[in-house]
Amino acid sequence: MSTATAASASAAATGDIDVTMDDQLRINRFSRLNQTYEEMEEEMLQLKEKLKLCDSAVEEVELCMDDDGLMLSVGECFVPVDEDQALENVENKKDELSAEMDRLTQKSDAIQEEMRELKKVLYAKFGDTINLGAQCCLIGEDRDEDLMREWTRMAVEEWRAIRSLYDVASVCLAVEEVERVRAARLEAVDKERRQRQAEVEDSLIAMRVTRMETLGEEMRAEQERMRDELNEWCVEERTARMRSMQEDFERRTAELEEKLEDHKRALRERVADLGESQRRAIELLVKATPGRLPGT
């Protein structure tokens, strides 16, 4: 039997106030509505905290400068998204929370209205003998109120202890999630580092091969150039030597012709000194041997 039912039965037994079945149903209804209202208030507080977190998330997204700094939680995984996708997801979440908040607010207003109507009826009949507090509905003496205050205090302490355990568990789960995300991020960074290192090594190998091919082409071009220069130098050197030899030949030819003229002139002088017969003999001799000179 519930506390409210026991209290109403006790009051009826004393004969102070006649508690009918309708009165008991109203009291039970008020108690259930009051409990539902408190649960809804707690749920609305949680929704408000979530809305604040959404606002903070929007600010964090706008302040994030890293390309890979935004991660979207999908189940047990985190998916990288851009700024527009992150903002769209947060806005959708805010819309859902706002709609749920409006629904709870309307339901809470309806519950409060019904509770006010029940209070009017119950207080009109029972007056100060009934206590429609935040935690229970009692009809009886002061000791019942003290008992319910103690019960309320114990319930609040128990609720606070449960809330503390819930907060600790949430913190532990959050720490585990952060560690898991950090480990996944480190693994992704290490994988990306190895991939980039492999790409750099491949690029270095390709650059070395290209450089070797370029150096080979440059060496071949340099050899061709040196060969052309050598051939050109040989041609110039040969031409210069031939020109020098030709000049030397022309010079010696000129010297020989000059000597020949001198010999002819000397011969003419000697011929002029000889007699006619000797001159004829010499002329015959000269005609007979035109390629030889006297005295050679």
> Which tokens sit at 118?
């029940």
Handedness of CA 57, 63, 67, 68 (dihedral sign): negative
Gap between the Cα atoms of 80 and 180, Å rounded = 15
d(CA 139, CA 266): 177
8 Å CB contact between 115 and 35: no
Mind listing the domains of the chain with CATH numbers? 21-139 (1.10.287.370)
Q: Supply the pLDDT for residue 3.
A: 40
Contact 59, 119 (CB under 8 A): no
CA distance linking residue 143 with residue 256, whole number of Å: 163
| Helix-helix angle 3-14:142-273, to 10 degrees | 160
Q: What's the pLDDT score for residue 163?
A: 63
293, HSE (Cβ side, Cα atoms, 13 Å):
14
Q: Are 17 and 7 in contact (CB under 8 A)?
A: no
pTM: 0.39
Give the span between the Cα atoms of 225 and 257, in whole angstroms.
Answer: 47
Q: What separation, in Å, do the N-terminal and C-terminal C-alpha atoms of the chain show?
A: 169
pLDDT, tens digit, 9 for 90 and up, residues 120-167: 888 888 877 777 754 444 444 344 455 455 556 665 666 666 666 666
pLDDT-derived band at 63 (thresholds 50, 70, 90) equals confident
Confidence of residue 14 (pLDDT cuts 50, 70, 90): very low
Closest CA to 44 of 131, 104, 132, 99: 104
Cα distance between residue 263 and residue 258, in whole Å: 9
Query: Distance between CA 243 and CA 237 in Å, rounded?
Result: 10
| pLDDT at residue number 55 | 82
DSSP assignment letter at 291: T
- State the Cα–Cα distance between residues 88 and 50, nearest whole angstrom: 16
Please give the share of the chain, as a percent, with pLDDT higher than 70.
Answer: 68
Measured distance CA(177)–CA(143) in Å, rounded: 50
pLDDT digits (tens, 9 = 90+) for 257-272: 888 888 888 877 776 6
CB neighbourhood size of 27 (10 A): 25
pLDDT tens track for 193-241: 888 888 888 888 888 888 888 888 888 888 888 888 888 888 888 888 8
Average pLDDT, the chain: 75
Q: Rounded mean pLDDT of 93-99? A: 88
Q: 73 has which bridge partners?
A: 78
- What residues have CB less than 8 Å from 226, skipping those under 6 apart? none
| Contact in structure between 97 and 53 (CB atoms under 8 Å) | no
Tell which wins on pLDDT, 150 or 71: 71
pLDDT at 134: 45
Handedness of CA 143, 144, 145, 149 (dihedral sign): positive
Q: Is the pLDDT of residue 62 over 50?
A: yes
pLDDT value for 143: 41
- 236 HSE (CA, 13 A, CB side): 6
Q: Which of 52-61, 66-75, 184-193 has the lowest mean pLDDT?
A: 66-75
CA-CA distances (angstroms) from residue 63 to 31, 71, 92? 48, 14, 20
